[in-house]
Amino acid sequence: MSTQKKTHVSTTINGEPCEFLCEPQQILSDVLRTNLNMTGTKEGCTTGDCGACSVILDGALVCSCLVLAVEAENRSIETIEGIAEDGKLHPIQQKLLEHAALQCGICTPGVVIASKVLLEKNPDPSEEQVRYWLAGNLCRCTGYDKIIRAVLDAGAVMRGEARS
C-alpha cells in the first residue's frame, strides 16, 4: 500500500496551474488539505452530508470529499482561498462578517463557496431559495438566521442595490 504508485495530476486551482501526486483513491478534499496544505476547505464528514468541503469544479458546486483527486486532471477548481480577490473580501465574505453570521466558523468556507455559486446563478434569490440551496451546508452554531440574512444582503450588494 505504501508502495502503491502515485498518480500525477495537472489541474488548475484558483486560476493557477497546479500539479500534484496522489493515491488513486484519495479524495480531492484530502489532497487539497494534506498534499497541498490548502486547509481552508474543511472536512466535517467526508460522506457528502455536511458541505464544509464545498469547492467549485468547472463551475459546478460539489463536495470535494465526493470527488477523486485524480478526476481533477485538466479541470478547474475554485476553493475558499481564491474567493477574495486582490486582498479584497468578496461581498459574501464581507456580509457574513457584518451580520455576525459565523460562530465557530468551520462551516463558513463551504457557505461562502455555495452562496457564490447560487448568487452567480440567481442574483436575486428569495429567502426560501437561499435556505434550500444551502440545505447541504450544515451549521450547528447559528441556527442559520444570520447566514441567510447575510447571503440575501450580499446578493443586494452584488446587484448594486445595497452598500457593500
Pick 12 or 46: Cβ nearer other proteins: 46
By the rule CB under 8 A, 120 interacts with other proteins: no
Pick 107 or 158: Cβ nearer other proteins: 107
By the rule CB under 8 A, 3 interacts with other proteins: yes
Contact with other proteins (CB under 8 A) among 31, 72, 77, 112? 112
By the rule CB under 8 A, 11 interacts with other proteins: no
Shortest Cβ distance from residue 17 to other proteins (Å)? 20
Shortest Cβ distance from residue 94 to other proteins (Å)? 8
Mode of pairing for the β-strands spanning 54-57 and 60-63: antiparallel
Shortest Cβ distance from residue 54 to other proteins (Å)? 6
Cα separation, 3 vs 6, in Å, equals: 9
By the rule CB under 8 A, 144 interacts with other proteins: yes
Cα separation, 124 vs 80, in Å, equals: 22
Q: Total residues contacting other proteins (rule CB under 8 A)?
A: 89
By the rule CB under 8 A, 54 interacts with other proteins: yes
Query: Bridge partners of 68?
Result: 27
Shortest Cβ distance from residue 161 to other proteins (Å)? 20
By the rule CB under 8 A, 156 interacts with other proteins: no
Site residues (CB under 8 A) for other proteins, limited to 72-111: 73, 79-81, 83-84, 89, 93, 96-100, 102-109
Q: Tell me the one-letter amino acid at 45.
A: C
Cα separation, 12 vs 157, in Å, equals: 29
Evaluated on CA atoms 45, 50, 56, 59, the torsion sign reads positive
| C-alpha distances out from residue 93 to 11, 66, 113, 163, Å | 26, 25, 10, 14
Mode of pairing for the β-strands spanning 16-22 and 7-13: antiparallel
CA 55 distance to own-chain centroid: 4
